[in-house]
Chain A
């Protein structure tokens, strides 16, 4: 994932570099405040560690190699801001001294691997480890999943940076001036390598190290987990109903993602309006009379085809339909639950009385 100089236009390098300047500044300030004057050796060793992790190359069948980054591991052990500093430093040493990753492209590389990766991975880790003890099995697994997700999101960012180049920078006769592949080619290529081998390496490393430290070196895990109890027995009884919370999180995610439907091309199979049917294909000369008759059976819709009757503001109407639909379904389910509860409450009375 180390982008060498020459793949990205100087403009892309400038934009990504400018984006990293405030991040690095904030990271330095945060780390100084959190770990005081002992930050320097700890961060230096973290950076050296990340450098070494990136050196363990695994051959991929297509002739290239993949490696883990360790950014999420460092984020779990020392905090995400420390990971920003450690991985940036490791990338800088690789770029300046070993020609691995470009000097101009350092901003882009740092954005992908030292900012996006630790923060996304750490976010996933925090989400999955709520209400768990320090030695719980779920914590190691959550770290691994965080590493996997973080690495893949970072790879996606790199693929987008690559894939935008031929669209944005080409000469008059269509010659791509920098990386020549389009998004449709870079995203699958990067996803293939990172969803499989590199992602697995990151997962095994992150989960393995956290699991090892849970057994062998708990004080190291406590650095970034103040106030987390050691064992599951000490855990305060969980408040609320976790099942309901997870169900609500899932539903909220789906609602947030519903505008994706606007991007989907074409229609769903078997849902065409009769006038859109390719009659010739089915050997028909006219729309079957039954279909014609029953298709117009119900016309009292509020938002026909998820749009306004006038056909204007299609996107707005689609989102409105999603919100309205979710509310109606939610209300119907709560009503149903209410009825079921009321019935269940009356049932014992019937039996005893």
Chain B
């Protein structure tokens, strides 16, 4: 146990530690944050994939096909209320799969739909999407300018569609262990080589991530003063990229030898063979029927 006096913070009699001002390289810091986020997400999805929930209990093949059917339906829908309904459905699925709603919504909305909203925002104005002006903003060289009904609808459609699509994909990622997803891809006629490379690449992203963060830390540790010189930064990008590729290549040689030592002869074998159960069939049929109904209903609302 840590003694209490060690945990107490106490004002030092003289300044301890680094005397200089620490400079934060913002782009690099952000990237490192991003790398840490990748690892956190991967660990989080490993954890949620083992919970006892609706989607976790389904076969990966059925889940993948069902999700693709729903994604196509989301792509074909042309009314915002229908898309909102489909989005609510993803929330229901998340709850049924014991995924925390707040974390789920945060993961879905935090990046891509907000980004999409920023991108499509100019489309609301009449100079990008001409049409019926619902909110006039004045005149520009004799033309009336404002937000158009068509522009607003279009921007809303894109943001809702992006959010619903991402929700479906995140649900799939959060409830399916990566090896299962890979064997599902293999069952769905993705080339063997591609599946093998996918599986290995996913694993070695984390190994290379470690290498990168070690290289960055080592460089920071060696840096006494910051050179304000663009050439230096460019050279570092080249060196680090080259050194990383060298590391990756020697690692791949070692992996290849290790695979040969374990009897690899160019074929990938999967240990577990899962059978499709009735529940998987029901799920798949339900997804297909829902997709057809949603698209049919959407068309019935008018084009």
Which A residues touch B78, using CB under 8 A?
A: 171, 177
Max chain A C-beta neighbours (<10 A), residue from B38, B111, B245: B245
- In angstroms, Cα B303 to Cα A176, docked, is 12
**CB closest chain-B residue, reference A215:** B242
Q: Does A136 contact B (CB under 8 A)?
A: no
Which B residues touch A172, using CB under 8 A?
A: 303
Q: Are A208 and B234 in contact (CB under 8 A)?
A: yes
Q: Are B241 and A44 in contact (CB under 8 A)?
A: no
- In angstroms, Cα B73 to Cα A341, docked, is 73
**CB closest chain-A residue, reference B131:** A174
- In angstroms, Cα B241 to Cα A210, docked, is 9
Q: Are B234 and A204 in contact (CB under 8 A)?
A: yes
Q: Are A212 and B242 in contact (CB under 8 A)?
A: yes
Q: Are A45 and B248 in contact (CB under 8 A)?
A: yes
Q: Does A326 contact B (CB under 8 A)?
A: no
CB distance from A173 to the nearest CB of B (A): 6
CB distance from A24 to the nearest CB of B (A): 7
Which A residues touch B244, using CB under 8 A?
A: 49, 52
Which A residues touch B101, using CB under 8 A?
A: none
- In angstroms, Cα B153 to Cα A279, docked, is 49
Q: Are A180 and B238 in contact (CB under 8 A)?
A: no
Contact with A along B182-219 (1 / 0, CB 8 A): 00000000010110111111111101110010000000
Q: Does B128 contact A (CB under 8 A)?
A: yes
Partner of A96, one of B131, B172, B193, B208: B172
Max chain B C-beta neighbours (<10 A), residue from A45, A52, A171, A212: A45
Query: With A179-B158, A209-B245 known to touch, is A85 a contact of B170 (CB < 8 Å)?
Result: no
Which B residues touch A85, using CB under 8 A?
A: 193-194, 197
CB distance from B211 to the nearest CB of A (A): 9
Contact with A along B255-270 (1 / 0, CB 8 A): 1100100001110000
Q: Are A49 and B245 in contact (CB under 8 A)?
A: yes
Contact with B along A32-60 (1 / 0, CB 8 A): 10000111111111111101110111110
**CB closest chain-B residue, reference A223:** B249
Which B residues touch A41, using CB under 8 A?
A: 200, 251-253, 255-256, 259
Which A residues touch B95, using CB under 8 A?
A: none
Which B residues touch A133, using CB under 8 A?
A: none
Q: Which residues 114-155 of B sit at the A interface, judged by CB distance below 8 A?
A: 115-116, 118-120, 122-123, 128-132, 149-151, 153-155
| Interface residues of B, dominant DSSP | helix
- In angstroms, Cα B242 to Cα A217, docked, is 9
In this complex, how many residues of chain B approach chain A with their Cβ under 8 Å: the count is 93
Q: Are B201 and A51 in contact (CB under 8 A)?
A: yes
Which A residues touch B203, using CB under 8 A?
A: 44
Query: With A40-B196, A102-B165 known to touch, is A180 a contact of B34 (CB < 8 Å)?
Result: no
Partner of A185, one of B128, B157, B204, B243: B128
- In angstroms, Cα B232 to Cα A302, docked, is 61
Q: Are B34 and A57 in contact (CB under 8 A)?
A: yes
Which A residues touch B74, using CB under 8 A?
A: 5-6
Which A residues touch B191, using CB under 8 A?
A: 24-25, 28
- In angstroms, Cα B207 to Cα A47, docked, is 13
Q: Are B248 and A46 in contact (CB under 8 A)?
A: yes
Q: Are A32 and B193 in contact (CB under 8 A)?
A: yes
Partner of A180, one of B68, B151, B243, B266: B151
Residues of B within 8 A of A (CB): 26-27, 30-31, 34-35, 38, 41-42, 45, 67-68, 71-72, 74-76, 78, 107-108, 111-112, 115-116, 118-120, 122-123, 128-132, 149-151, 153-155, 157-158, 161-162, 164-166, 169-170, 172-173, 178, 181, 191, 193-194, 196-205, 207-209, 212, 234-235, 237-239, 241-246, 248-249, 251-253, 255-256, 259, 264-266, 303
Besides A59-B27, A102-B169, A103-B169, 20 more A-B contacts (Cβ < 8 Å) are A6-B161, A38-B256, A40-B197, A42-B252, A45-B251, A45-B252, A48-B208, A58-B27, A59-B30, A96-B181, A99-B111, A99-B166, A99-B170, A104-B68, A172-B303, A173-B132, A182-B128, A204-B238, A208-B239, A209-B238
